[in-house]
Amino acid sequence: MMNHAYIAQREPYRRATAQRFGVSEAAFDAVTLALAPLAVPVSLRKGEFLQRSGTPAQWMYWIFRGVTRNGFITESGAEVTLRFTMDGEAAGSHEDLLQARAGIAAQHFVIAETAVEGHRMDWQEVMRVTQEQAIVRDYYLKAAEASIVRQSRRIGLGSHSSAQDRLAEFRREYPGLERRISQKVIASFLGITPQYLSQMLRGAD
């Protein structure tokens, strides 16, 4: 069954997404139509998991409205934040989805950092459509390339020795996100304590 809400909700993000991935808007539309029958509407409250670590990953999400957070738990029990997904972006843990084909449990969690509205798709079904349709396969490769480039920028963010520089890079990478999530989560992403982040922000006033 065609999910018309999925098609309509993706429409405002067509141009920006096509530019970010380096594809045509026609390709964006074709992929939207190809995936629409797989899309199941979901609404999540803040704090609900889209994916838990310890079990094989199964779902890919597209977020219409809201913020999700990817991270992992260290052996000592500390929580590390890796990245965020915002309105109009795909959410999930690609590396865990790929490993799930071999039955390997997910190493990362994906959690709703705000209330989230979007659509869920079974990853195996997404891969089936990708294999069957060349335009979807090409789009997937372009999206994967863009994700690698973005991930390299995030790794570069962590290389800054100055917390102030890391905060500035966070603001460039995720414009407007600072107003939507807690200082505790931002501090986790920056690798500093919430108290130190609070001091930094007070000092900038």
Shared domain for 181 and 152, answered yes or no, is: no
Shared domain for 78 and 166, answered yes or no, is: no
pLDDT tens digits, 159-195:
657 888 889 889 988 999 999 999 999 998 888 899 9
Rounded Cα distance, 172 and 84, in Å: 13
Shared domain for 18 and 95, answered yes or no, is: yes
Shared domain for 147 and 77, answered yes or no, is: yes
pLDDT at 5: 95
Shared domain for 124 and 192, answered yes or no, is: no
Shared domain for 78 and 119, answered yes or no, is: yes
pLDDT at 204: 64
Q: How many domains does the chain have?
A: 2
pLDDT at 139: 96
| Residue that is last in its domain, among 159, 175, 190 | 159
Q: Output the pTM of the full model.
A: 0.89
152 SS3 class? helix
Kindly report the CATH number assigned to the domain that includes residue 39.
2.60.120.10
Shared domain for 185 and 94, answered yes or no, is: no
Shared domain for 154 and 167, answered yes or no, is: no
pLDDT at 99: 92
Shared domain for 151 and 165, answered yes or no, is: no
Shared domain for 128 and 37, answered yes or no, is: yes
Low-confidence residues of the chain, pLDDT below 70? 154-160, 204-205
Shared domain for 71 and 154, answered yes or no, is: yes
- 30-33 long-range contacts (CB < 8 A, ≥24 apart) are 30/135, 30/136, 30/139, 31/135, 31/136, 31/139, 32/6, 32/7, 33/7
Shared domain for 131 and 199, answered yes or no, is: no
Main-chain phi, psi angles of 177, to 5 degrees: -70, -30
Which range marks the domain in which residue 171 is found? 161-205
Rounded Cα distance, 68 and 46, in Å: 9
DSSP element (H, E) containing 68: strand 68-73
pLDDT at 2: 81
